[in-house]
C-alpha cells in the first residue's frame, strides 16, 4: 500500500526538479581579469557571461543597497565579506518607509553588472526577506560567482588597481581568455546619460522648501533624505538647463552617479554659470561633488584604487553646520574618481574634508567671504548602507535654503557673487568642451 503511494506520488513532487539523484550539479563560472589572472568558481543567479570593471567593497552588510546603487553600473562587484546573502532580499516595494520615493532599496533594480562572493548563502533569514540573493540576481538577469578566493582577488586589485574583467559562465568557461583589447571598458560610455531621468518629476510637492535635484543616477536615500526634511523635490535630467528655471527653486542638489565625470562636462559648464550668477545654497554628493569641483576649476582624475565600503575615515578641515573642524567622521563611499588636490584652491573655495587613508580630497566648500553656501562631499552622508555620522549635512543644507528663502541668515555683508567666481578661471577639460 505504502509502496504504491510512493510510486504514484513521488513523480509529482519531483516535477521540475533535476532528474539526477543528489544535489543539483554546480554550473562552473570563472572571473578573468585583463591582467591575465583567472578565478574559478560556481555560478549563481543568472547563468550569463558578462564584462565589467572589477571593483571590491569592504562593506560587511547592505549588499542589497550596494547592488541597487546606480553608481555601481557596469561594475563587477567583489565583496570582501566572506558570506553574502544570509539575510536574503526584501521586497523593493515594501510599504514601510518607502512611500516617498517608491522603493525600499537604492533604485528599482540591480545596477552592478555582476557580483563575486566567497560563499553565497543558500539559506537566508530576516523578517523582511522575500527571496534569496540567487533568486533576486536570476530575476534581474545578473550573474553571480561563488566559491572563489575573494581575498586573493582583493589583494590583486589592491596592488594593480581597479581592473577590467569578464565573467564566463557554463560552456563559456572553456572559451579562450579574452585578449586585452576585448575587455569592455564602462568608463568609455556616458553611463549617467543611460541612467538619469529623461523627464523632470516631483516628489513631495507640498514641501515647504523647493529643491531642484540634478540626477546623475540618484540613490533613493538621497531623495528620501531631502523629502524627510520637508523638501519639495523636482528631479531634473543631469544635463537640464537649470539656469533657465533656477529662480523657481530655493536650493540646488547634485547627486551621485556612475562612470567618469568627464562625460558630464556640460553639467559642469552650466553650473559655472549658476555659481557666477546665483547665490542660493548648492550641495553635491560624490559625482555631484565632482561636478561642483570641475565647475569651480578643479580637475577630476581617475584614482588607481577607488574607495568602496562603509568604513572610510575623513577628517573635517573646516566647520560648517553640524560638521566640526578637526573631527574624523566614518563614511560610506563608492567612487573611482576624485578632485585633484591643488594649492592654492581656486578663489572662493577652501578644503572641507580629506581622506585619512589616502589623503584624497573628500570635500570642498565655498569660503565664508564668498557670499555663497556651496558644499561638495566625495562620501555619502545619506549612507544606505553605512554609518550616519554625517547625515545632518542634509539638515544643514535645508537650514541654509530656509535661511536664504526667509532672509534670516546671520550674514551681514554678502559680496557680489560674480567677483568671487570669475567665469574665466582656467579649466583645461572645460575649456576643451567649450571650444568643441
Ligand atoms: N558614487 C558616485 O557618485 C561615484 C562618482 C563617480 N562615478 C566615481 O566613480 O568617482
pLDDT one-digit tens code per residue, 317-373: 999 999 999 999 999 999 999 999 999 999 999 999 999 999 999 999 999 999 999
Instruction: Give yes or no for a contact between 251 and 63, defined as CB atoms under 8 angstroms apart.
Output: no
Q: What is the pLDDT of residue 95?
A: 60
Give domain limits for the chain: 26-188, 191-435
User: Looking at ligand 1, which residue's alpha carbon is closest to its atom 3?
Assistant: 256
Q: Is the pLDDT of residue 1 over 70?
A: no
Kindly report, residue by residue over 257-272, the tens digit of the pLDDT. Answer: 999 999 999 999 999 9
Average pLDDT, rounded, for the chain = 89
Q: Is the pLDDT of residue 421 over 90?
A: no
Which residues, at least 6 apart from 302, have a Cβ–Cβ distance to it below 8 Å? 187, 260, 336, 337
Query: Pocket of ligand 1, candidates 70, 216, 264, 290: which has the most ligand atoms within 8 Å of its Cβ, to mutate?
Result: 290
Please state the ipTM of this predicted complex. Answer: 0.98
Kindly report, residue by residue over 185-241, the tens digit of the pLDDT. Answer: 999 999 999 999 999 999 999 899 999 999 999 999 999 999 999 999 999 999 999
- Annotated active-site positions, please? 286, 380, 382
Kindly report, residue by residue over 38-62, the tens digit of the pLDDT. Answer: 999 999 999 999 999 999 999 999 9
191-435 has CATH 3.40.50.880 classification: yes
| Residue 67 cell numbers, joined | 547592488
| pTM for the full predicted model | 0.88
Closest alpha carbon to 57 in 112, 125, 131, 129: 112
Q: Cis omega before residue 344 (within 30°)?
A: yes
What is the distance in A from the centroid of ligand 1 to the CA of 287?
Answer: 5
The backbone torsions φ and ψ at residue 385, rounded to the nearest 5 degrees and listed phi first, read -95, 175
Q: Which CATH number fits domain 26-188: 2.40.280.10, 1.20.140.10, 3.30.1360.120, 3.50.30.20?
A: 3.50.30.20
What is the distance in A from the centroid of ligand 1 to the CA of 175?
Answer: 33
| Count of CB atoms situated within 10 Å of the CB of 344 | 7
Confidence of residue 99 (pLDDT cuts 50, 70, 90): low
- Helix ranges, 1-117 (H): 2-13, 63-68
Query: Pocket of ligand 1, candidates 66, 71, 106, 288: which has the most ligand atoms within 8 Å of its Cβ, to mutate?
Result: 71
Pocket of ligand 1 (CB under 6 A): 71, 256-259, 261, 286-287, 334-337
Q: Is 413 left (phi over 0), alpha (psi -120 to 50) or beta?
A: beta
Q: What is the pLDDT of residue 93?
A: 84
Amino acid at each position: 500500500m505504502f509502496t504504491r503511494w510512493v510510486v504514484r506520488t513521488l513523480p509529482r513532487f519531483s516535477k521540475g526538479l533535476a532528474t539526477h539523484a543528489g544535489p543539483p550539479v554546480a554550473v562552473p563560472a570563472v572571473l578573468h581579469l585583463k591582467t591575465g589572472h583567472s578565478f574559478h568558481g560556481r555560478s549563481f543567479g543568472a547563468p550569463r557571461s558578462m564584462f565589467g570593471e572589477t571593483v571590491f567593497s569592504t562593506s560587511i552588510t547592505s549588499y542589497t543597497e550596494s547592488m541597487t546603487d546606480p553608481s555601481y553600473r557596469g561594475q563587477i562587484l567583489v565583496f570582501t565579506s566572506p558570506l553574502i546573502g544570509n539575510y536574503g532580499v526584501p521586497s523593493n516595494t515594501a510599504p514601510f518607509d518607502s512611500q516617498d520615493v517608491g522603493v525600499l532599496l537604492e533604485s528599482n533594480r540591480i545596477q552592478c553588472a555582476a557580483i563575486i562572493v566567497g560563499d553565497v548563502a543558500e539559506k537566508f533569514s530576516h523578517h523582511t526577506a522575500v527571496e534569496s540573493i540567487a533568486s533576486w540576481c536570476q530575476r534581474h538577469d545578473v550573474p553571480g560567482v561563488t566559491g572563489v578566493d575573494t581575498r586573493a582577488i582583493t589583494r590583486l586589485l589592491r596592488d594593480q588597481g581597479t581592473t577590467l574583467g569578464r565573467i564566463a559562465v557554463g560552456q563559456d568557461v572553456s572559451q579562450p581568455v579574452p585578449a586585452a583589447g576585448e575587455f569592455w571598458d564602462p568608463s568609455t560610455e556616458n553611463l549617467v546619460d543611460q541612467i538619469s531621468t529623461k523627464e523632470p518629476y516631483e516628489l513631495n510637492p507640498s514641501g515647504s522648501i523647493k529643491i531642484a535635484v540634478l540626477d546623475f543616477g540618484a540613490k533613493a536615500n538621497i531623495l528620501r533624505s531631502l523629502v524627510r526634511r520637508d523638501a519639495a523635490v523636482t528631479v531634473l535630467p543631469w544635463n537640464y538647463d537649470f539656469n533657465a528655471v533656477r529662480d523657481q527653486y530655493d536650493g540646488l542638489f547634485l547627486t551621485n552617479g556612475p562612470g567618469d565625470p568627464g562625460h558630464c562636462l556640460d553639467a559642469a559648464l552650466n553650473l559655472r554659470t549658476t555659481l557666477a550668477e546665483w547665490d542660493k545654497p548648492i550641495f553635491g554628493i560624490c559625482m555631484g561633488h565632482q561636478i561642483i569641483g570641475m565647475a569651480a576649476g578643479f580637475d577630476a582624475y581617475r584614482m588607481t584604487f577607488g574607495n568602496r565600503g562603509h568604513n572610510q575615515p575623513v577628517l573635517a578641515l573646516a566647520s560648517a553646520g553640524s560638521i566640526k573642524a578637526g573631527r574624523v567622521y566614518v563614511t560610506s563611499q563608492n567612487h573611482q574618481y576624485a578632485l585633484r588636490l591643488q594649492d592654492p584652491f581656486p578663489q572662493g573655495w577652501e578644503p572641507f574634508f580629506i581622506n585619512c587613508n589616502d589623503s584624497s580630497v573628500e570635500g570642498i566648500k565655498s569660503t565664508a567671504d564668498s557670499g555663497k553656501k556651496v558644499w561638495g562631499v566625495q562620501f555619502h552622508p545619506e549612507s544606505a548602507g553605512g554609518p550616519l555620522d554625517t547625515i545632518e549635512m542634509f539638515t544643514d543644507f535645508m537650514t541654509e535654503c530656509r535661511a536664504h528663502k526667509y532672509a534670516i541668515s546671520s550674514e551681514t555683508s554678502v559680496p557680489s557673487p560674480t567677483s568671487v567666481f570669475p567665469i574665466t578661471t582656467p579649466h583645461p577639460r572645460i575649456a576643451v568642451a567649450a571650444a568643441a
